[in-house]
Chains A and B, each alone.
Chain A
Amino acid sequence: MQSGNIFLAGVGGQGTLLASELLSEAFLLSGYDVKKSEVHGMAQRGGAVTTHIRFGPKVYSPLIEPGSAGLLIAFEKMEALRFVHYLSPDGVVIANTQEIQPPSVLRGLELYPGDIETRLRAAAGRVFLVDALSSALALKEVRAVNVVMVGAASHFLPLPAQAYEDALKLRLPAKILDVNVAAFRAGRELLASTGGVA
């Protein structure tokens, strides 16, 4: 059984908590020990939010150490760069191309960095930028960005696609299940050409 660390980064309101819930549930359903940690409350109000997921035969710490995440899933492009130091040297970055301006950029005091992709590629071996927002909008469900990202990231985790779809069935109410299964498959399709499980 493999062990691994998944670091999720996004902006409050983007659904990172649900994405982390699905990933954790998929590992538990597949017989892994799993822990995940996140914060609620004030931090969620449009601020940078992160979730740590750790899986393996036995997990102690709920927190990932910097430099040790095998996978960084960023729901917003700049958040990938903010937390890329959590990635291990051979880790993979999956970043959504969506840009959400932070307060200082909204007010024109700072620029949204224009060189994020270059800096990500300098910091990490394998970087995949995906347009999850367009996939979600194509499904007429902007809130499905998170599940599209899970689909794209699933290529780099040691579980079969069915494990995630089982987790979706377990955690989501029936009326939003279909669109989220479609979002997962759309996300998986986005990176289908990259060669599968790392």
Chain B
Amino acid sequence: MSVPTKETLVLLSGNEAIARGAFEAGVKVASAYPGTPSTEILENFAKYEGVYAEWAPNEKVSVEVAIGASMAGVRALSTMKHVGVNVAADPIFTASYTGVRGGLVIVAADDPEMHSSQNEQDSRHYAVAAKIPMLEPSDSAEAREFTLLAYDLSEKYDTPFFLRSTTRIAHAKGAVRIGDPVVPPVEPGIVRDAAKWVMLPVNARRRHVLVEERTRALVEYAETSGINRIEPGSRALGIVTSGVSYQYVKEAFPEASVLKLGMAWPMPEKMILDFAAGVDRLVVVEELDPHIETHVKALGLKAQGKELIPICGELDPRIVREGITGERGSAHSPERVPNRPPNLCPGCPHRGLFFVLNKLKAIVSGDIGCYTLAALPPLSAMDLCVCMGASVGAAHGIEKALGKGAHGQVVAVIGDSTFLHSGITGLIDIVYNRGNSTVIILDNGITAMTGAQENPSTGKTLQGKPTHRIDFVALCRAIGVAHVYPVDPHDMEATEVVLKREMAREAPSVVITQALCALLPEHRRAERPVYEVSPAACVGCKACSKLGCPAIEWVPYTPEDAALAGKKPAQKGVTRINPLLCDGCGQCPPLCKFNAILRKSQ
């Protein structure tokens, strides 16, 4: 390996490299729903000249847009996080049968270790189940290269292609050699071909036969093309691996023989058999499920895998080394310090809402977003969270299960973008089936958790261009909710009055909390006061601390400190507002019965 030269290399994340690869492949239409760790692919792709990129309301729509573009003869891209593939699975499984005209690539970004996810599913199962070939890059350079390759192969084999990434590919940066865009070979336009594109049973039966033939052809490609490669090494240890696990293997066992699979599906059977024949010990190293291992063992080979390498969590070189050698390295035990879990930001409007829900002891059916953090103490105001949109249907289910026993207690909380993604159908269910639940839409003007993306309720497109803005009040009314009330969640007293009334109501209702995300530039630019705690007035009751605001700090007192400060000896401390963190949202002053929280004079 020669030393990279600075003239030809750029530092790109896996996501930036996939975006670059798609641009160089001549992709014209790209659609996605944001989701960590996939979000930056589309954000970066959208910056290139001459392309169309959009945020779709959900992953299913995103794939459908890409299918249409492919049928119209242009190269198309759809990107999502692993759980998004579940939402999009319906069109994906049948797009496998229709095949493509313009190349079609679907990026599935898995999140081993669940850094920012609700489950740890392995998207490689989808490749097998949908009979769609899958490429799996092991660094940024391959992320670009495999994206380009996937488009050529998609058209050559008449199939959508999966590109599978993981957090340590998506959000790792490495040196990438970039190239110029190509002109795709397919001509844009509609070529009418119902037998290929209209999946009536009569057509789909014929297409299924072609899908099976295609998979056999792709096995041949996997055997001979170089996408999978053997790196010869010692005979004592042979490791089959793919993706980022390959890097850990090279680090931990530089001497080993390695079969690196660049294609997660279908697999090169003959190559695996040849590789196995050349080594004394065969080990499969892969993150999450035993996908490669199962296939290797199905070939009748004796191999080790998940008995050595964990099925849960992400890997690193140490885990791989210790798993295979069985020897524990020298201990590096962490120091014990207080945990620092993620928290809602200072000035977050969600904090006001969840403070009220905690006070009302509501049964809170939650959803996916920053506000899921309200499940943590001290807000502790969430009882359930499963997947995008689930809060609404689940609230209805809780209410139907408990009947009068739950009346006036059940709410669903769901963000603006999440409601549009898949909450609307749940609300239709509540209205249609005569439910009484209160659905709270947290409208903070942005898709916040994934880093501030526009959505159909923000009035702006991905590119920031003005567009129609969904009117939540009108939408909910159209569904049949007669009681729809916007509130300002920073005004917790007023929010409590409205929530109490609507939760008690024997009819479906929607409460919309309207206040901008504290991280938005338009919020940060606005002038607001900074608050401070008067140490003389503070009695240390911690009423303000129950907000869990990062700006409200605790200053502990010893009895001597208390005496020095002129306090009762029993006072354990005072609160202090960190002026660097205070957002001036105004939630805390009304909580202080002693009027100790004041506007800072400047």
Contact = CB atoms under 8 A, between A and B. Distances in A.
- Which of B5, B36, B116, B342 has the largest count of A CB atoms less than 10 A from its CB? B342
17 contacts: A11-B340, A28-B9, A33-B174, A33-B175, A36-B172, A43-B116, A58-B1, A61-B317, A62-B247, A63-B248, A65-B317, A66-B332, A82-B334, A83-B334, A85-B332, A105-B338, A106-B545
B477 interface: no
B330 A42 contact: no
- Which of A13, A63, A84 has the largest count of B CB atoms less than 10 A from its CB? A63
A44 B224 CA distance: 43
Given A31-B5, A103-B548, A105-B554, A38 B171 contact: yes
Nearest to B34: A41
B373 A62 contact: no
Given A45-B344, A119-B335, A66 B318 contact: yes
A2 interface: no
A81 B337 contact: yes
B373 A42 contact: yes
A34 interface: yes
Given A36-B173, A62-B168, A107-B542, A31 B6 contact: yes
A174 to B, nearest CB: 18
A140 interface: no
B134 interface: no
A112 interface: yes
Interface string B549-576: 1101110100000000000000011000
Interface string A113-125: 1000001000100
A46 B550 contact: yes
A26 to B, nearest CB: 10
Interface in B315-363: 316-318, 329-330, 332-335, 337-345
A113 B342 contact: no
A108 interface: yes
A45 B373 contact: yes
B305 interface: no
B338 A104 contact: yes
B370 interface: yes
Nearest to B576: A101
A39 B171 contact: yes
A39 B115 contact: yes
B185 to A, nearest CB: 34
Interface in A69-87: 78-79, 81-86
A102 B116 contact: no
A46 B449 contact: no
A39 B314 CA distance: 13
A57 to B, nearest CB: 6
A47 B334 contact: no
B434 interface: no
Nearest to A46: B343
A175 interface: no
Contact of B339 (A67, A102, A108): A102
Contacts of A59: 174
Given A47-B343, A102-B338, A103-B341, A108 B175 contact: no
B530 to A, nearest CB: 13
B340 A40 contact: no
B345 A40 contact: no
Given A36-B173, A63-B248, A65-B318, 8 more contacts: A31-B5, A34-B175, A39-B171, A45-B342, A46-B550, A62-B168, A62-B172, A108-B545
A26 B340 CA distance: 30
Contact of A104 (B248, B339, B373): B339
A12 to B, nearest CB: 7
B335 A84 contact: yes
Contacts of B4: 28, 31-33
A31 B168 CA distance: 23
B37 A103 contact: no
Contacts of A113: 337-338
Interface residues of B, number: 66
A176 interface: no
Interface in B38-60: 39-40
A43 B168 contact: no
A35 B378 contact: no
A12 B342 contact: yes
Nearest to A25: B11
A36 B16 CA distance: 14
Nearest to A116: B337
Describe B's contact surface by its main secondary structure.
loop
A82 B545 CA distance: 25
B345 A45 contact: yes
A41 B449 contact: yes
B451 A40 contact: yes
B439 interface: no
A40 B116 CA distance: 8
Contact of B335 (A34, A81, A100): A81
B513 interface: no
Contacts of B572: 108
A142 B524 CA distance: 15
B11 A41 contact: no
Interface string A126-150: 0000000000000000100000000
Interface in A1-53: 1, 11-13, 21, 24-25, 28-48
Nearest to A37: B172
Contacts of A1: 3
Interface in B219-270: 244, 247-248, 250-251
B139 interface: yes
B248 A61 contact: yes
B444 interface: no
Contacts of B343: 45-47, 103
B90 to A, nearest CB: 26
B526 interface: no
A39 B167 contact: yes
A111 B554 CA distance: 9
B338 A42 contact: no
A142 to B, nearest CB: 6
B583 to A, nearest CB: 12
Interface in B441-466: 449-451
A92 B408 CA distance: 58
Contacts of B494: none
A28 B550 CA distance: 37
Top 10 nearest A-B pairs by Cβ distance? A41-B116, A41-B36, A47-B342, A66-B332, A62-B172, A45-B342, A102-B340, A108-B554, A37-B172, A46-B343
Contacts of B168: 37, 62-63
A123 B553 contact: no
Interface string B358-381: 000000000000101100111000
Given A36-B173, A39-B115, A61 B334 contact: no
A102 B376 CA distance: 13
A198 to B, nearest CB: 21
Interface string B163-204: 000011001111100000000000000000000000000000
